[in-house]
C-alpha cells in the first residue's frame, strides 16, 4: 500500500514556509497550501527536501 497516514500528514508541514500540506492521493504527492511547492512521496515517506 502506498500513501501516507492522516496522522503523519497532520504533523508535517512545508519545510520552506511552514504552511500546511495538501495530500494529492491520486498523484501521491504533497503540495503546499502556502508556497505551492510540490513534494513527492516515496515508499510512504514524504520527501520534504527543498
Ligand atoms: Zn510552503
pLDDT of residue 20: 95
Domain ranges of the chain: 6-46
* CA 21 to centroid of ligand 1, rounded, Å: 8
Q: What global pTM score does this model have?
A: 0.82
Grid-cell match 504533523, residue found: 11
CA of 13 to the centre of ligand 1 (A): 8
Q: Give residue 2 CA to ligand 1 midpoint distance, Å.
A: 23
Q: Nearest-5° angle of CA 23, CA 8, CA 27?
A: 25
Q: How confident is the model at residue 2 (pLDDT cuts 50, 70, 90)?
A: low
CA 3 to ligand 1 centroid distance, Å:
20
Q: DSSP string of 1-50?
A: --S--HHHHHH---TTT---EEEETTTTEEEETTT--EEEEETTEE----
Between residues 1 and 37, the one the model is more confident about:
37
pLDDT tens digits, 9-46: 899 999 999 999 999 989 999 999 999 999 999 888 89
Cα 13 from chain centroid (whole Å): 7
Amino acid at each position: 500500500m502506498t500513501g501516507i497516514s492522516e496522522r503523519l500528514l497532520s504533523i508535517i508541514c512545508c519545510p520552506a514556509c511552514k504552511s500546511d500540506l495538501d495530500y494529492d492521493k491520486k498523484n501521491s504527492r504533497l503540495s503546499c497550501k502556502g508556497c505551492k511547492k510540490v513534494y513527492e512521496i516515496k515508499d510512504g515517506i514524504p520527501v520534504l527536501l527543498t
